[in-house]
Amino acid sequence: MRRSATQPEVFPRMKAVYSPLHARHDGGVELYRGRLVPTFETPERAEIIRAALEAAGHELLPPREIPESRLLRVHEPAFVEFLRGAHARWQSEGREGHVLPSGFPARGLRQDRRPAGISGSLGWFAFDASTPIVAGTWDAALAAARCAMTAAALVHEGQRAAYALCRPPGHHAARSTYGGYCYLNNAALAAQYLVDEGRRRVCVIDVDYHHGNGTQEIFWERDDVLFVSLHGDPETEYPWFLGYADERGAGRGAGHTLNLPLPAGSGWEAYRAALDAALAAIRAYDPEALVVSLGVDTFVSDPISSFKLEGRHYPLIGALLAGLGLPTVVVQEGGYAVAEIGANVAGVLGAFTA
Ligand code: OKP
Ligand code: ZN
């Protein structure tokens, strides 16, 4: 679309919140199919998305210095303190190697006390071994959370939509657990920000390939946030232990969680039908704002996922989401087919400026 100085901006650019601090989270390994491999969640991902957004004419801006106290609207203080200090503590106890947990409080083990030492603490707060903590992890996670909350602030202040280029992602992180490459729940923080600023019903729709177990847990007993998720069936797909169709919320939140698992290998037709069901549930809830957990690991050649969406489907997803006509915060989650990640994200966002 060509513009000149004399022409009005008919196709306004989208505000996209980005921080270079994401790059401090790098160099980790994850346990993947029995091997320690370099993590799939790399700094390159965010830089490729940034380049694609710039090429598409979106406006990049830095996150605001949102007070850290906002984190505690979603996360437990002890969890935040642990994340902030975990790497320094690991080092001060003279350990080498990567900061990964190696034991977890499974059934039959005590759930009522956190061990004092660093290894027990890691197993207490983590739920998998795919989520390393390096020296810069806290700085990056905090910056990502601020990107999400800044995008929420922009939307609250009147932007029709805003995008947060969050890295590390967030939707697997719960009130006091981390995993799945996620430390702080960026999308939940954005939704909570909108609630705290007075939006009465907020919906989080999670279109990442993996179930957003952390977001679901955070809002499980609440009726002021509707959580809707399309994802690979946890019978076979990560995170395996949450995301089944019979999970509908509890207490006041009963009926305010909707899971739409799809078999691994699903293509656009099945995906589109599930998305239509999600959109109908959202319209029935009549929210005042929408948060999209945007993972593009639904792409056919994603290295760790098994849906078969193609590049041309992302603008269609964007158009369907934009068609809700809601003030919308789009928060970056997964997507590991690095060569196509920028085009796929830009494909979704383009629908919000058209
Ligand atoms: C993060 B996000 C499967 C191993 C899965 C963790 C995947 C985290 C995905 N064999 N490892 O939702 O994109
Ligand atoms: Zn994912």
94-131 pLDDT, tens digit per residue, is 888 889 999 999 999 999 999 999 999 999 999 999 99
Residue 1 pLDDT: 44
Distance, in Å, from the CA atom of 291 to the CA atom of 14, rounded to the nearest integer, reads: 15
Distance, in Å, from the CA atom of 67 to the CA atom of 140, rounded to the nearest integer, reads: 15
| CB distance 130 to ligand 1 below 6 Å | yes
Mean pLDDT of all residues in the chain?
96
| CB distance 243 to ligand 1 below 6 Å | no
101 within 8 A of 129, measured Cβ to Cβ: yes
Residue 11 pLDDT: 55
Sign of CA dihedral 149, 153, 155, 161: negative
Q: Whose CA is closest to atom 9 on ligand 1? A: 180
Sign of CA dihedral 301, 307, 310, 313: negative
Residue 8 pLDDT: 45
| CB distance 180 to ligand 1 below 6 Å | yes
Peptide bond into 168 cis (omega under 30): yes
Q: Whose CA is closest to atom 7 on ligand 1? A: 180
Rounded to the nearest angstrom, the distance between the alpha carbon of 131 and the centre of ligand 1 is 9
Ligand 1 atom, smallest distance to 171 CA: 12
| CB distance 302 to ligand 1 below 6 Å | no
Rounded to the nearest angstrom, the distance between the alpha carbon of 345 and the centre of ligand 1 is 18
pLDDT at position 230 over 50: yes
Six token digits for residue 318: 């964007």
Give the mutation target among 35, 100, 166, 238 for probing the ligand 1 site: most ligand atoms within 8 A of CB: 238
Residues pairing with 262 in the sheet: 232
89 within 8 A of 107, measured Cβ to Cβ: no
Q: Whose CA is closest to atom 8 on ligand 1? A: 180
293 within 8 A of 333, measured Cβ to Cβ: yes
Task: Provide the angle, in degrees to the nearest 10, between the axes of the packed helices 338-353 and 313-322.
Answer: 30
Six token digits for residue 3: 């513009």
pLDDT at position 5 over 70: no
Q: Which of 134, 111, 143 is nearest to 124 (CA)?
A: 111
pLDDT at position 181 over 80: yes
Rounded to the nearest angstrom, the distance between the alpha carbon of 304 and the centre of ligand 1 is 7
Choosing from 58, 75, 156, 172, the catalytic residue is: 172
Task: Identify the band that residue 27 occupies on the pLDDT scale cut at 50, 70 and 90.
Answer: confident
| CB distance 193 to ligand 1 below 6 Å | no
Burial (CB count within 10 angstroms: exposed 0-12, middle 13-18, buried 19+), residue 295: buried
Distance, in Å, from the CA atom of 90 to the CA atom of 286, rounded to the nearest integer, reads: 47
Ligand 1 atom, smallest distance to 182 CA: 1
Give the mutation target among 31, 32, 181 for probing the ligand 1 site: most ligand atoms within 8 A of CB: 181
Taking CA atoms, 301 is separated from 124, 166, 265, 270, in Å, by: 34, 22, 11, 18
Q: Whose CA is closest to atom 2 on ligand 1? A: 334
pLDDT at position 9 over 80: no
Q: Which of 168, 215, 151 is nearest to 335 (CA)?
A: 168
Rounded to the nearest angstrom, the distance between the alpha carbon of 55 and the centre of ligand 1 is 29
Give the mutation target among 210, 231, 306, 331 for probing the ligand 1 site: most ligand atoms within 8 A of CB: 210
Task: Identify the band that residue 258 occupies on the pLDDT scale cut at 50, 70 and 90.
Answer: very high
Distance, in Å, from the CA atom of 291 to the CA atom of 312, rounded to the nearest integer, reads: 22
pLDDT tens sequence across 55-83:
999 999 999 999 999 999 999 999 999 99
Ligand 1 atom, smallest distance to 169 CA: 2
100-122 burial, b at 16+ Cβ within 10 Å, e below that, comes to bbeeebeeeeeeeeeeeebbebb
Distance, in Å, from the CA atom of 278 to the CA atom of 269, rounded to the nearest integer, reads: 14
Ligand 1 atom, smallest distance to 295 CA: 13
225 within 8 A of 191, measured Cβ to Cβ: yes
Establish whether 75 is a catalytic residue: no
Distance, in Å, from the CA atom of 70 to the CA atom of 149, rounded to the nearest integer, reads: 9
